[in-house]
Each structure stands twice: as structure tokens, then as C-alpha cells.
Amino acid sequence: MMTMEPGKTRIGWIGTGVMGRWMCRHLMDRGFSATVCNRTRDKARPLLDAGAEWASSPKAVASASDVIFTMVGFPEDVQEVYFGDRGVLAGAAPGSILVDMTTTRPSLAREIDQAAVQQDVHAVDAPVSGGDVGAREATLSIMAGGGASAVDAVMPLFEIMGKKIVHQGDAGSGQHTKMCNQIVIAGTMIGVCESLLYGYRAGLDLEVMLSSISGGAAACWSLDNLAPRVLRREFDSGFFVEHFIKDMGIALREARQMGIVLPGLALVHQMYLSVAANGGQRLGTQALMRTLEQMSNVHPDSE
């Protein structure tokens, strides 16, 4: 298995959006050359300006790279990026490593792994948690699935992008772990927003209230990072609602296949479908607060 060396190992990156841009930039800042591709070239401009090379297709990225990272939106995007005449697998050379950091279906991660094995290519599924803040500050939690040798090989690259990297097991196990993460986040988000709504109606100073509960048993990432955005009425940044709906949908489908019932997740999924139906699909997940305010006839923006 190859050794990751700045100036020698060639990095490919497909998907330079809110998170992918920063994750790729961290690797470039450590001396790795990068070839990038994105559906919209303008979103890759910061990386191109920093010295990355542009490729016209996922296949072209793979042909120019030793390790190919993908960070796109939906399972159908992953399918398109990896398979077909212009896909990553069509351009990947034997011995190269494919790392999908998109949150997608565990079954799709296994499908990519099986296709990769057929052409002597290694595949790793490595979804992340930490949002845009974690991507920008290189503090992501990375959940890796795939063969141990491939995960070990790319570990130095993961350590540039994140703080907590754990190999969960075989192909697909990284995605299953991310589903566990999203189930927790779903319950946490409704709790954070309902807490703020309750505190507002009770007449509390919300910043003072948060200073107390964030130091106790309620402490969590969402309370620290997203509750302050709600107080500032910042709803247009962070992890997109439409992507969270996608993740919860995957988890609910996986749960049905395993014969388990997740009523809490189903409730939050329905709440976020309401957020999207009201035009909030491209807002951050903290935009759930606005839907809860509407349901309670609370209008902080007009007061």
C-alpha cells in the first residue's frame, strides 16, 4: 500500500462545496497537489486560485490522482460520480484508493467496494461529522469503513482534516456509524430548539440560560455551535436541511430493513420535511427553530 507523501502523493477531490472546499484545502496547505472537479466550477475557484488543477470529469480526476476523495450531496450523486463512462472507477488505476466522504447508503458503499476490488482498487467509506465549522477548522470526526490496509494508508490524510478518526469495520460500516450519529443529532436538534423556544416564552435571557445548561448534562455540540446561530438569527449557513432529510431517510430505511422502530427519528424527519416545504431546504439545520416558532405563534424577528 502506498505511503502518503506531500509533493509525491497526488490527491483528487470531487465535490468542493461548503465542506469539501475546506477539507481539500487543508491537504493542499500541507503540501499535497490536488486535481479537483465540481458540478459548478465557480465553487472550486478558491482551490484553483490556491494552485489546484481543474479536471472536467470524475474519470479525469481519478486518472490524475493516487487518492481520490468524493464529497457530494446525495446517493444518486455518488452513483453518478463513481459509475459510468465518466466515473471515478473508469479512470482509477490499480492500487489507487477511493475515499467517499459523502453520507450515503451503506449498501452503495459496499457496491463501490465490490466494484473497486474487481479492478485492484481500494475503497473506503468515510462520512464525517462536525459540519462546516469542523471542516473549516479541521476538527471533524471521521468514521471509516473498508479494508484495514486502505484505512491505515489514508490515515495521515484523515488526520489533517479531522481530530477523531475511527476505523469502524468493513465496507459500509462507516456509513452505518454516520446513521447512528444522525439519529442522535435529530433528537438533539429538536431538543435545542424547543429549549430556546421555552426559554424565550418564559422571558429568560437566552444567552444567560445557555451559559448554564451548556455546562451541565445537556452539554452537546449542537448547543455550543447552533444555538448561538439561532440567537443571532443566522439560518442560512451550516449543514443543509435537504441533506439532513436525506440522511434521516436513509436511517429510517435501514431501520425498516433491520426490523426496528425509531419513532423519535420519524418525528424529527417529518418536522424537517415541514421546514423544507416552507422553502428552507437550503438553510442550516437550526432553521427548525423557525418552524417551531410558527407553530407556537412566536415571532422574534418582528419584535
| Residue in 133, 102, 162, 158 with CA at minimum distance from that of residue 221 | 133
Q: Give a yes or no: residue 214 inside a domain.
A: yes
Domain identity same for 161 and 228: no
CB neighbours of residue 77 within 10 Å: 16
- Domain end among 170, 197, 226: 170
CATH number of the domain where residue 69 is located: 3.40.50.720
Domain boundary among 127, 149, 170: 170
Q: Which three cell numbers stand for residue 65?
A: 490522482
Q: What is the pLDDT of residues 139-151, one digit of tens each?
A: 999 999 999 999 9
Residues 130 and 196 in one domain: no
For 5, which DSSP code?
-
Is the Cβ–Cβ distance between 278 and 287 less than 8 Å? no
Task: Say yes or no: 160 and 270 in one domain.
Answer: no
Contact 271, 289 (CB under 8 A): no
- Do 45 and 102 share a domain, yes or no? yes
**Mean pLDDT for all residues in the chain:** 95
134 alpha-carbon distance from chain centroid: 10
pLDDT at 25 over 90: yes
193 within 8 A of 167, measured Cβ to Cβ: no
**266-288 mean pLDDT:** 96
Q: Note whether 166 and 194 are same-domain residues.
A: no
Q: Is residue 5 part of a domain?
A: no
Residues 151 and 132 reside in one and the same domain: yes
Give yes or no for residue 47 having a pLDDT over 70.
Answer: yes
Query: Are 19 and 144 in a shared domain?
Result: yes
Tell me which residue of 127, 122, 116 sits closest to 185, measured CA to CA.
127
Distance CA 247, CA 257 (A): 16
Per-residue pLDDT tens over the stretch 197-216: 999 999 999 999 999 999 99
pLDDT grade for 232, boundaries at 50, 70 and 90: very high
What does the pLDDT look like over 93-137, one tens digit per residue?
Answer: 999 999 999 999 999 999 999 999 999 999 999 999 998 889 999
CA angle 147, 35, 101 (to 5 degrees): 40
**Which phi-psi region, left, alpha or beta, contains residue 164 (left: φ > 0; alpha: ψ -120 to 50)?**
beta
Please determine, for residue 8, whether its predicted confidence score (pLDDT) is greater than 90.
yes
Q: How many domains does the chain have?
A: 2
Per-residue confidence band for 301, with pLDDT thresholds at 50, 70 and 90: confident
Percentage of the chain exceeding pLDDT 90: 93
Dist. CA 165–CA 170, nearest whole Å: 15
| Domain limit, last residue, from 170, 188, 217 | 170
Q: Which pairing describes strands 97-100 and 53-54: parallel, antiparallel, or unpaired?
A: unpaired
- Going by their DSSP bridges, the two strands 10-14 and 67-70 should be labelled as parallel
Answer yes or no: are the C-beta atoms of 46 and 21 closer than 8 Å.
yes
For residues 198 and 81, membership in a common domain is answered with no
| Active site members | 178
Q: How many helices (H) and strands (E) does the chain have?
A: 15, 9
CB contact at 8 A, 164 and 141: yes
- Print the domain residue range for 192: 177-302
Across residues 298-302, what is the average pLDDT?
79
- Within-domain flag for 197: yes
Q: Are residues 77 and 223 in the same domain?
A: no
Rg (the chain; Cα; Å): 20
Q: Is residue 250 part of a domain?
A: yes
Please report whether residue 2 resides in a domain.
no
* CATH of residue 210: 1.10.1040.10
pLDDT classification of 302: cutoffs 50, 70, 90: low
pLDDT tens for each residue of 159-192: 999 999 999 999 999 999 999 999 999 999 999 9
If asked whether residues 223 and 269 sit together in one domain, one would say yes
User: Structure pTM?
Assistant: 0.93
CB-based contacts of 252, cutoff 8 Å, min separation 6: 262, 265, 266, 269
**pLDDT-derived band of residue 241, with 50, 70 and 90 as boundaries?**
very high
Q: Is residue 17 part of a domain?
A: yes
Q: How confident is the model at residue 238 (pLDDT cuts 50, 70, 90)?
A: confident
pLDDT band at 303 (very low <50, low <70, confident <90, very high): low
104 part of a folded domain: yes
Is 142 found in the same domain as 193?
Answer: no
Q: For the residues 40-50, what does the mean pLDDT come to?
A: 95
Indicate the pairing of strand 53-54 with strand 67-70: unpaired
Question: Do 18 and 88 sit in the same domain of this protein?
Answer: yes
**Within-domain flag for 4:** no
